[in-house]
A and B are shown apart, each in its own frame.
Chain A
């Protein structure tokens, strides 16, 4: 459905994504995993055309999202939805108006029809009856589900999820993960999920992409990833602090910093 070719993104001197090729399969859940700073959110934002790559192409139904006009991009976005890490509900609107927002913007449907559609979406995420609550009155899990309902409002073909379980308690995280899995199956939509939650990610993925330092170090089904013999993959899925992926991001040895200070003081 989406095919990214030689995708590179630089922020100043930092190389966030390095000539990466990714294929997002139709009607399937692709989970992009990796540690902090591995480039997974950068990749998601590029795939959703919220950012422009330094070089490379992102093909979506014959259009290169990296070079498409704003008008055409907005047409394509009618087929996309996104659930942001912090939900990104519009603060000034209640749950109903947030979910109805894309319908009010892009359709001329009667309000009674919109009310029915919003009610159906909220029922899907278990929030029917909470229409009048403002975003500030929702818990983290409820806000994520409301954002999910809003992303589904236009019945998109593809939905992007940025860290859907981060900051949630285990029950809320489980509910959100199950929702993503069930709705992807029922509606045959395509899901792209960015997460560092190994258990949740592997449990819902049809295809897993594992990133490290802006490059893909492994990809395949959840079972293939679980059985991988690559030390970097093993360290990540087992959550071990020691291994080829260093815990510390410092570029100089700790002892040099300590002795460097002593050298300066005592000559």
Chain B
């Protein structure tokens, strides 16, 4: 009996030890990421000015992600309109459809889905690109040519995702609202005046600011996580593959966690 208890006690200790080690590892990981991100952002105003590289990255990440954002926005607006209509119809409140679609997209779905699409499409490519630069010694080559890889490789990508995401989310919102209008008004027969009138009446400037603030925060998060994981990738083919998956998973979970924190602030 006492042996069984001692065995259970040892098992519990091992479990606690494992949780402790994992927690310490996570804190150290977060600290290292914050340190790399902060030291990269500190180079923003230090010469040489990386303007050309910001624009190039903004084009590659922003314009390159537009199609996927537009498609996601359109289908999100359409589904919201459909679901909202059948729920509101049960209470005879179909006229509220415009405000339901608009508030859901602007405050929540636009920033969150836009950021998730950016992490999947652009974030994974950021991690893979930097990881491959690590494997092929291009980051070391930059160091040898007295070019700081943090200024040249990391900083422009964080700045690009931070600027691109609010713009992409605005596109997402506009396309989602148009798609929601088409389904609600043209397909389901909701009155056009009621749809747009409710939308204009219920969406306040605060809702727009909340959406853009979230997009801005998610942009920093996507840029920091994806550049950091690529920068610290184990310099092997398997290491880069693992880092790319890790960036998408951590980036996506991080977006949802940060969304909860920000939503609790804005409500």
Chain A residues within CB distance 8 Å of chain B: 48, 50, 70, 74-75, 77-78, 80-82, 84-86, 88-91, 101-102, 105-106, 150
Distance, CA A68 to CA B146, complexed state (A): 14
A-B contact pairs, 14 of them (CB 8 A): A50-B143, A50-B144, A75-B146, A77-B144, A80-B144, A82-B140, A84-B140, A84-B141, A86-B136, A88-B137, A90-B141, A91-B138, A102-B146, A105-B145
Q: Are A102 and B137 in contact (CB under 8 A)?
A: no
Q: Min CB distance, A32 to chain B, in Å? A: 17
Q: Are A105 and B137 in contact (CB under 8 A)?
A: no
Q: Which of A70, A81, A86 contacts B144 (CB 8 A)?
A: A81
Q: Are B140 and A105 in contact (CB under 8 A)?
A: no
Residues in B with CB closer than 8 Å to A84 are 137, 140-141
Q: Does B89 lie at the interface of the complex (its beta carbon under 8 Å from any beta carbon of A)? A: no
Residues in B with CB closer than 8 Å to A74 are 146, 148
Q: Min CB distance, B179 to chain A, in Å? A: 36
Distance, CA A73 to CA B48, complexed state (A): 17
B residues 113-169 touching A (CB-CB < 8 Å): 132-133, 136-138, 140-141, 143-148
Distance, CA A85 to CA B141, complexed state (A): 11
Chain B residues within CB distance 8 Å of chain A: 48, 132-133, 136-138, 140-141, 143-148
Q: Are B137 and A85 in contact (CB under 8 A)?
A: yes
Q: Give the dominant DSSP class at A's interface.
A: mixed
Q: Are A88 and B146 in contact (CB under 8 A)?
A: no
Residues in B with CB closer than 8 Å to A106 are 146
Distance, CA A88 to CA B144, complexed state (A): 11
Q: Which of B138, B143, B144, B148 contacts A90 (CB 8 A)?
A: B138
Distance, CA A84 to CA B146, complexed state (A): 15
Q: Are A101 and B145 in contact (CB under 8 A)?
A: yes
Q: Are A50 and B145 in contact (CB under 8 A)?
A: no
Q: Are A105 and B136 in contact (CB under 8 A)?
A: no
Distance, CA A91 to CA B142, complexed state (A): 12
Distance, CA A122 to CA B143, complexed state (A): 22
Most buried by A among B137, B143, B146: B146
Distance, CA A30 to CA B120, complexed state (A): 48
Q: Min CB distance, B233 to chain A, in Å? A: 16
Q: Min CB distance, B224 to chain A, in Å? A: 21
Given contacts A48-B144, A86-B137, A89-B138, 14 further A-B contacts (CB under 8 A): A50-B140, A50-B143, A74-B146, A77-B144, A77-B146, A82-B141, A84-B137, A86-B136, A88-B138, A88-B140, A90-B141, A91-B132, A105-B48, A105-B145
Residues in A with CB closer than 8 Å to B141 are 82, 84, 88-90
Q: Which of A75, A85, A89, A105 contacts B147 (CB 8 A)?
A: A105
Most buried by B among A75, A80, A88, A105: A88
Distance, CA A226 to CA B40, complexed state (A): 50
Residues in B with CB closer than 8 Å to A105 are 48, 145-147
Most buried by A among B48, B132, B133, B140: B140
Q: Min CB distance, B151 to chain A, in Å? A: 11
Q: Which of B48, B136, B147 contacts A88 (CB 8 A)?
A: B136
Distance, CA A221 to CA B41, complexed state (A): 49
Q: Min CB distance, A74 to chain B, in Å? A: 4
Distance, CA A85 to CA B136, complexed state (A): 9
Q: Min CB distance, B194 to chain A, in Å? A: 52
Residues in A with CB closer than 8 Å to B136 are 86, 88, 91
Most buried by A among B140, B141, B147: B141
Distance, CA A88 to CA B137, complexed state (A): 5
Residues in B with CB closer than 8 Å to A86 are 136-137
Q: Min CB distance, A220 to chain B, in Å? A: 29
Distance, CA A80 to CA B141, complexed state (A): 11
Q: Are B145 and A77 in contact (CB under 8 A)?
A: yes
Q: Min CB distance, A48 to chain B, in Å? A: 7
Residues in A with CB closer than 8 Å to B144 are 48, 50, 77, 80-82
Closest to B143 in A: A50
Q: Min CB distance, A255 to chain B, in Å? A: 33
Distance, CA A170 to CA B96, complexed state (A): 77
Distance, CA A82 to CA B143, complexed state (A): 10
Distance, CA A80 to CA B144, complexed state (A): 7
Q: Min CB distance, A172 to chain B, in Å? A: 19
Q: Min CB distance, B25 to chain A, in Å? A: 16
Distance, CA A130 to CA B37, complexed state (A): 38
Distance, CA A80 to CA B145, complexed state (A): 8
Residues in B with CB closer than 8 Å to A77 are 143-146
Residues in B with CB closer than 8 Å to A75 are 146
The 3 closest A-B pairs by CB, nearest first: A88-B141, A88-B137, A74-B146
Closest to A73 in B: B146
